[in-house]
Amino acid sequence: MTLLTRRATLRLAATSFALPLAAAMARADGHATNHTVVIKDFAFTPANLQIKAGDTVTWVNQDSAQHSAWESTNNAFDIGLLSTGQSASLTFARAGAFNYRCRPHGNMRGSITIS
């Protein structure tokens, strides 16, 4: 009986080490990641973001004013106006680079580089 308990304990220990390792390997294999850009004090943080193709960017407005994220050169994306506490997400499928700004506050600028 003691031998079975030891085996069960060893299996449990091996599994507890294997799961985090498998999760780390999955991320290394290119699984998509969600990145957050906080809008606060009339600024995007981080202002310059580097991501991989397939990743998602979520903008979260923590400011008292309404804000947006709009790529105005090619009109590639526009998340619309976000009120306090609202968020919007976009997934970027392929490599490229985008400079964006807030529609109502043109001095608020950010960039996303996708590899």
Structural domain count of the chain = 2
Q: Rounded to whole angstroms, what are the CA distances from 10 to 2, 14, 21, 110, 114? A: 12, 6, 17, 50, 43
Q: Are residues 24 and 39 in the same domain?
A: no
Integer Cα distance of 78 and 92 in angstroms = 13
Q: Does residue 63 sit in the same domain as residue 95?
A: yes
**Model's pTM, two decimal places?**
0.74
Question: The CATH number of the domain where 67 resides is what?
Answer: 2.60.40.420
* Cβ atoms of 68 and 90 closer than 8 Å: no
SS3 call for 7: helix
Length of the chain: 115
Residue 52, SS3? Answer: coil
Looking at the structure, do residues 96 and 54 belong to the same domain, yes or no?
yes
Residue 1 annotated as lining a ligand binding site: no
Q: Do 94 and 46 lie in a common domain?
A: yes
- Over the stretch 58-93, which tens digit does the pLDDT of each residue have? 999 999 999 999 999 999 999 999 999 999 999 999
Is 25 annotated for ligand binding? no
Judged against a pLDDT cut of 70, whether residue 96 lies above it is answered with yes
The pLDDT score that the predictor gives to residue 108 is 98
Indicate whether 60 and 107 sit together in one domain. yes
Residue 87 lies in domain: 34-114
pLDDT digits (tens, 9 = 90+) for 26-53: 344 568 999 999 999 999 999 999 999 9
